[in-house]
Amino acid sequence: MNHESSGGPTGPPLYPVSLRINGEAHDLNVPAWVTLLDLLRDRLDLTGTKKGCDHGQCGACTVLVDGRRINACLTLAVMRSGSDVVTIEGLAQDGTLHEMQRAFVEADALQCGYCTPGQICSAVGLVREGEAHSDAEIRELMSGNLCRCGAYPQIVRAVGTVLRAGSAKDAA
């Protein structure tokens, strides 16, 4: 765990941030301007979450905060103190891939892989939200996550597979 000093007269003031990240408690002191993305990547070495545009336009930095998908580049770490954060590294449990990760592999829903962590976290949030019921709705609700390689048909197939499997479980 990376802990910062209190800032002092030569450095910027630091603010306490307490987060539960991938099930592990982290208490840090950070400058007010540190984004959640930079905290994850630069201070906690969780580099699965990608820095794409740094303007909230590509979705590469999507993580789950208190179960909701957000762009980590658009939120300050101090604003999320007390939150539960799940990154791509936290989806797999005990060496077993999350069902969405498995679906992406099975559907070949990646090419270069750069957008994949954000796509998967966004897809997990989308399924939890329960708003998508068709491929068209999946496409619309995943539109904040860009893929330069054009793996969109496979991504929609992967998300749809998990979405329909969940609906089948709910009906049973």
User: What fold does the segment set 14-90 form as a domain?
Assistant: Ubiquitin-like (UB roll) (3.10.20)
Domain 99-167 has CATH 1.10.150.120: yes
pLDDT tens-place values along the chain, 172 residues long: 444 455 556 889 999 999 999 999 999 999 999 999 999 999 999 999 999 999 999 999 999 999 999 999 999 999 999 999 999 999 999 999 999 999 999 999 999 999 999 999 999 999 999 999 999 999 999 999 999 999 999 999 999 999 999 866 665 5
Query: Can you tell me the distance from the alpha carbon of 103 to that of 159, in angstroms, rounded to the nearest whole number?
Result: 7
- Calculate the dihedral angle through the C-alpha atoms of 124, 130, 136, 139, rounding to the nearest 10 degrees: -30
Q: Where in the chain is the domain with CATH 3.10.20.30?
A: 14-90
**φ, ψ at 62 (rounded to 5°):** -65, 130
Q: Where in the chain is the domain with CATH 1.10.150.120?
A: 99-167
